[in-house]
Amino acid sequence: MNQLKQVGDIFQIQTGDILPADGICIESNNISCDESSMTGESDLIKKSPEQMPFMLCGCKVQTGFGKMVVVAVGMNTQFGILKQTIIASAQKKQQTPLQQKLDQLAKYISYTGIASAAFVLLILLIFWIISGAQNTSQFKAIEFWVKLVNYIIISVSIVVMAVPEGLPLAVTIALAYSMRKMLGDNNLVRILSACETMGGATMICSDKTGTLTQNKMKVTSGYLDGEMITLKQQQQIQKNFEQKDQVVTLLSEAIALDSSADIKETVKNEEDNEKQKQANVEHLGNVTECALLQYIKENEGIDYRNIRAQNVVIQTYPFSSEQKRMRIEDPVRIEVPEAIRLCHDSHIDVIMVTGDKIETAIHIAKECGIYNPSKGIAMEGPQFRSLSEEDQLKILPRLQILARSSPTDKHTLVTLLQKLGHVVAVTGDGTNDAPALSKADVGFAMGITGTEVAKDAADIIITDDNFSSIMKAVMWGRNVYDSIRKFVQFQLTVNISAIAIAVAGAIFSVTPLKAIQILWINMIINTLAALALATERPTKELLKRKPYGKTGSIICPSMWRNILASAIYQSVIIIILLFLWGKEAEFMQQAEYPDLKQTELCSLLQKNDEIIVTELFFPNGLCRHFLLSKGVAIFSKQHFSFIFNTFIFMQVFNWIPSRKCYNELNFFKGLMSNYIFQGIMGFVAAFQVIIMLVPGLRDVFSVISLPGNLWGYSFLFSILIIPFRFFVSLLIPSKDPFQCDEYSQSILSGIS
């Protein structure tokens, strides 16, 4: 079996062998194969030259021995064809819904930033030209041309700040953080984008065998000592077998000796949990015999190997299912019904797709909570294939079970669901699931019982084979989506307010924010905000919402409310501080300042209430208070430093309400448990203080130190954004905060 096989080779096969090629059975002694990994059919398939002679690569021989002739090897086998389908599907995968929305949003934001920068530059150029026209001698002064260069730098800085180059970084940080945390929730993410795609999942197509069920047959009832008994619960067993030790002993001996199956246990790690230890158990031989052996071991504590060792085999008679009087089934995983209920509560529909017969599928689907006979449809693969595509699309909204399905049926089902606009997740563990896993928007493979082909085709591997882990992936996916929304909400707030301040300043030929200061703001937006806002842990409240789907905009009405409220607050406060604060706060009685007596000298500087930066022309503040007393607007370096400091701390405190995108009023919920957010917020605040206090950094950022009262005002105006946002959310609640439809899309389209 370990040698390479070629077409035409004939070789021996026996119980426990995994077939290395496709072939035809030419000699059979009670051969039966487990083809569940290829077809989804849980029943063993009997093989003989006369009936069902075809043997598939990758399938296991469960009983008997014989010979087969090779008819296909490598990529020409059914296994290889499935592999080629997986490769083709992987190459055709397009951008995720979130990636498409973010690309469109980035385009709109960039256009707006470029247009705003052009507008600011145009206004500044007009003032520059008028100033030169009034005094043509300025054209010879280098300071005059330096001013033009500064105007251009300011405009370029606005473009740099507006263009959302930090958006991909925010997405990557959110995905990488989620990917690491999801591993602790038994989700091994192979494809990074699958994290966020799962947040928009609207449909799950699940395999039955090994995914919804345990893929290990168990005895449920039998005929013993003249009566039919049910063996589902240990209490029932003990009651039924009370004072019948001899019967139990006889039953155990009969099961151990009248079977040729075996159960192999491989202990990889002594610290493995119970679920992992169960996964390392391999059943060899007839599934009914394996179920009986498992029964006497688990329920009676009897090791069948000891019984076999005490007896000698004289003659073997093959097992025949016609002679049995017991009932076995592949039991549903304990956690599955609750997980299915969570899916429905999360507005995610589930379709069972299996190769098993429809009666078995319906029984299991009812037990799981998937199938509702009054609302849903159960259909077999051949019947589904016979329908036209139009008819298939019509029944899909009600389809809950697709039985006797082939890998092609599963692939077709996923394709049609995607045509209807669904974001489709597929779960499976067998090789037959691989094409559908690859075609799906998100493919989940079982990490313990799944085949290597299924794992290679999947985007996420469920390491504990627990269907409920899929719901944790849904939570993380929706959490990633929310993290991106929080970042977008924060970035648009800063962009709108910064552009408004720049435009207002340009109208009065003032540049309150210097180029280096804008770059520091840009760093806060693109890097630090992404880290702070993308590290929230998911909550169960996320599962109460509808999936985001493919059509909804990334910006909800409630987000527009939050963005505009915060941007208006920041813009209005900064503009008031810029044009009114300096004049009102610094105006004093004339007698207090000696420069007020220099009326002849100072009056020469007053030209039609011209705006003057005193530090530029008069470092000692000469004539400053005289001009103030005459109503001239004076913008000092200290004044601009105060504006810059206040604007930065507004962004720091705006991080707190930016953590909530909808109608939430408790902005601090979960804040104390997010140490990354606290650390980044503290770092930015501390570094801003350092900028304002350290002489060397002050020169770099074009600021000077501030007195204590201005520090107090900076914090006051900054922290007031939190109660302001609270009252806006309280007084103007969004009717449907989670509904992101064409409302937001139309606003963005209008911008472009």
Distance CA 664, CA 545 (A): 14
Q: Which of 207, 204, 206, 234 is nearest to 219 (CA)?
A: 234
Identity of the amino acid at 180? R
CA gap 462, 357 in Å, rounded = 26
Please give the share of the chain, as a percent, with pLDDT higher than 70.
77
Supply the angle between the helices 142-162 and 97-134 in degrees, to the nearest 10.
Answer: 160
- Per residue in 624-641, is it b (16+ CB within 10 Å) or e — as a string? bbbbbbeebbbbbbbbbb
Tokens 């928007």 — which residue? 441
What pLDDT does 414 receive?
A: 93
- 565 vs 135, which has greater pLDDT? 565
Say whether 421 sits in a helix, a strand or coil.
coil
Top pLDDT among 741 and 563 is at: 563
Q: What is the pLDDT of residues 62-108, one digit of tens each?
A: 888 899 999 999 888 888 877 776 666 665 556 667 777 778 888 88
When pLDDT is cut at 50, 70 and 90, the band that residue 615 belongs to is very low
**Is the pLDDT higher at 42 or at 658?**
658
pLDDT in tens, 725-736: 999 999 888 776
pLDDT at 745: 41
Question: What distance in Å separates the CA atoms of residue 437 and residue 83, rounded to the nearest whole number?
Answer: 12
Judged by average pLDDT, the poorest of 16-20, 39-43, 489-493, 696-700 is 39-43
Domain 218-329 belongs to what topology? Calcium-transporting ATPase, cytoplasmic domain N (3.40.1110)
Choose, from 22, 34, 185, 207, the residue flagged as catalytic: 207
Average pLDDT over residues 440-444: 91
Query: In the structure encoding, which two tokens stand for residue 290, read together?
Result: 């394996």
Rounded Cα distance between 609 and 628, Å, is 10
Q: What's the rounded mean pLDDT across residues 684-688?
A: 93
Q: What is the pLDDT of residue 89?
A: 61
Distance CA 65, CA 476 (A): 49
Task: Give the CA dihedral 444, 450, 451, 455, nearest 10 degrees.
Answer: 30
The arithmetic mean of pLDDT across residues 406-434, rounded, is: 87
Nearest 5 degrees, angle CA 398-CA 89-CA 395? 10
Average of per-residue pLDDT across 377-386: 92
In terms of pLDDT, which residue wins out, 622 or 283?
Answer: 283
Average pLDDT, the chain: 79
Other Cβ atoms less than 10 A from the Cβ of 110: the count is 16
**pLDDT band, residue 431 (cuts 50/70/90):** confident
- Name, of 119-133, 210-224, 342-356, the range with top average pLDDT: 342-356
Stretch 386-393: mean pLDDT, rounded? Answer: 91
The tally of CA atoms less than 13 A away on the side-chain side of residue 322 is 1
Residue 486 corresponds to which tokens in the numbers above? 């929080």
Q: Which two tokens stand for residue 403?
A: 């039985």
As a whole number, mean pLDDT of residues 454-480 equals 88
Per-residue pLDDT at 554 exceeds 70 = yes
Please, are residues 294 and 263 in contact by the beta-carbon 8 Å criterion?
Answer: yes
Distance, in Å, from the CA atom of 628 to the CA atom of 620, rounded to the nearest integer, reads 15
Q: Among residues 98, 94, 97, 95, which one has the least CA distance to residue 171?
A: 98
Q: 65-69, 183-187, 513-517, 616-620 — which is least confidently predicted?
A: 616-620
Q: Given this model, what pLDDT does residue 397 score?
A: 92
Q: Is residue 681 within 8 Å of residue 505, measured between CB atoms? A: no
Q: Using 50, 70 and 90 to split pLDDT, how confident is the model at 23?
A: very high
Residue at token pair 């650390």: 679
> Between 236 and 262, where is the model more confident?
262
At 245-299, the pLDDT tens digits run 667 777 777 777 777 777 777 655 555 555 555 556 677 766 677 777 877 777 6
Instruction: Read off the pLDDT of residues 38-71 as tens digits, 9 standing for 90 and up.
Output: 776 667 888 999 888 999 888 888 888 899 999 9
Q: Could you state, in order of their start, the residue ranges of all structural domains in the chain? A: 10-76, 179-212+332-473, 218-329, 587-635
Which among 167, 194, 165 has a CA at the least distance from the CA of 179? 194
124-141 mean pLDDT: 74
As a whole number of angstroms, the distance between CA 499 and CA 504 comes to: 8
User: Which helix (H) or strand (E) segment is 639 a member of?
Assistant: helix 637-658
In 528-636, which ranges are continuous DSSP H helix? 529-533, 557-576, 582-586, 599-603, 614-617, 624-629
pLDDT at 412 over 80: yes
CA distance 195 to 175: 6
Q: How far apart are CA 725 and CA 713, in angstroms?
A: 19
For residue 599, pLDDT beyond 70: no
- Output the pLDDT for position 349: 93
Distance CA 275, CA 528 (A): 41
User: Rounded mean pLDDT of 533-541?
Assistant: 84
* Distance (Å, whole) CA 126 – CA 132: 10
What is the predicted pLDDT for the residue at 296?
A: 75
> What pLDDT shows up at residue 612?
42
Please say if the pLDDT value at position 744 is more than 50.
no
Yes or no: domain 10-76 corresponds to CATH 2.40.50.140: no
What local confidence, expressed as pLDDT, does residue 260 receive? 74
- Alpha-carbon span 737 to 2, nearest angstrom: 61
C-alpha distances in angstroms, 710 versus 472, 539, 653?
Answer: 48, 41, 17
What is the pLDDT at residue 593?
A: 42
C-beta of residue 326 within 8 angstroms of C-beta of residue 221: yes
Is the pLDDT assigned to residue 586 strictly greater than 60?
no
* Residue 207 annotated as catalytic: yes
pLDDT the model gives residue 690? 94
- Show the CA angle centred on residue 581, arms to residues 576 and 586, nearest 5°: 170
22 against 97, higher pLDDT: 22
Q: Specify the pTM.
A: 0.73
* CA-CA-CA-CA torsion sign (235, 239, 242, 246): negative
CATH topology classification for 179-212+332-473: Rossmann fold (3.40.50)
Per-residue HEC secondary structure of 285-342 comes to CCHHHHHHHHHHHHHHCCCHHHHHHCCCCCCCCCCCHHHCCEEEECCECCCHHHHHHH
Task: Write down the residue that tokens 């039955």 correspond to.
Answer: 208
pLDDT of residue 590: 36
Contact between 224 and 247 (Cβ < 8 Å): yes
In 135-165, which ranges are continuous DSSP H helix? Answer: 142-162
In this prediction, residue 341 carries a pLDDT of 92
Position 10 pLDDT exceeds 80? yes
